[in-house]
Amino acid sequence: MNHDGLGTTRLGPALFATAALLLCCPPTASAMHISEGILPAPWAGLWFALSVPFLIWGLRDLRVRSEKEPMFKSLVGLVGAAVFVISCMPIPVPTAGTCSHPCGTGMAAILIGPSLTVVITSIALLLQALFLAHGGLTTLGADIVSMGVAGAFVGYGVFRLATALGVPRWPAAFLAGLLSDWATYAVTSFELASALHGSASVGHTFVAVAILFCPTQIPLGILEGLITAAACRFIETRRPGLIASLKQPGGGAA
């Protein structure tokens, strides 16, 4: 499989170059992802521990797939840069004192698989926490689980299921982007509710937090679905059969 038409960018340089570009004209700082210090230490540690196996899985897949096709890293780098940029578009949520944003992980999971999407998402989140004050280092694990793990695996699963049921690729990509985005914010709401519910029940707090995200995240999810479908259509138009040819470790085509 030849990815020459997709460029020769490598994962690290692509993300760092994008970060440098955004630092030259940074957006107004707002709380994005789960901010530093929001989660108590035990909960922050728990979510980080849960994210580690997925990171190890993703790094192993990157090594295995790169050995089979060296140019695969070029695609990973480009998709990683796209996730970084897409997830740096904050939309204020006045009622919650935070921000919503598209994620790009559904699109990434379709193109490079869910495990590798966790890896590039973790890099994007780390750079945003270090240089853009988006998210935090103590909450990095929770942000990886919500945006990387939940977003990637839900998006990938929806795309695979929809195409297996005969849904055309573009509507399937739309559903993947839409539900990936909503899954990310459902998990974020649960992470916040489980750690900060106080005397209220976790369920009540979860519903309250999720409702606060709805005014921005419902339209953003639809937008992300459209972006995912458009990106997949563009790639398929420029490189027919590329998406179908991308195989995950173990066999199945994406």
- Alpha helix locations (H) across the chain? 11-24, 41-68, 72-86, 105-112, 114-131, 140-143, 151-164, 169-196, 202-238, 242-245
pLDDT tens-digit series, residues 147-164 = 999 999 999 999 999 999
The answer to whether position 203 is within a domain reads: yes
Range from 15-19, 201-205, 212-216 carrying the lowest mean pLDDT: 15-19
Q: What is the mean pLDDT of residues 21-30?
A: 40
Per-residue model confidence (pLDDT) at position 245: 60
Q: What is the mean pLDDT of residues 3-28?
A: 45
The CATH code of the domain that includes 238 is 1.10.1760.20
pLDDT tens-digit series, residues 101-138 = 889 999 999 999 999 999 999 999 999 888 887 777 88
The answer to whether position 169 is within a domain reads: yes
The answer to whether position 70 is within a domain reads: yes
Range of the domain at 72: 38-245
Q: What is the mean pLDDT of residues 177-204?
A: 92
Q: What's the domain count of the chain?
A: 1
**Average pLDDT, rounded, for the chain:** 82
The answer to whether position 10 is within a domain reads: no
The answer to whether position 221 is within a domain reads: yes
The answer to whether position 84 is within a domain reads: yes
The answer to whether position 21 is within a domain reads: no
Per-residue model confidence (pLDDT) at position 241: 66
Per-residue model confidence (pLDDT) at position 18: 45
- Statement: residue 167 has pLDDT above 70: yes
The answer to whether position 178 is within a domain reads: yes
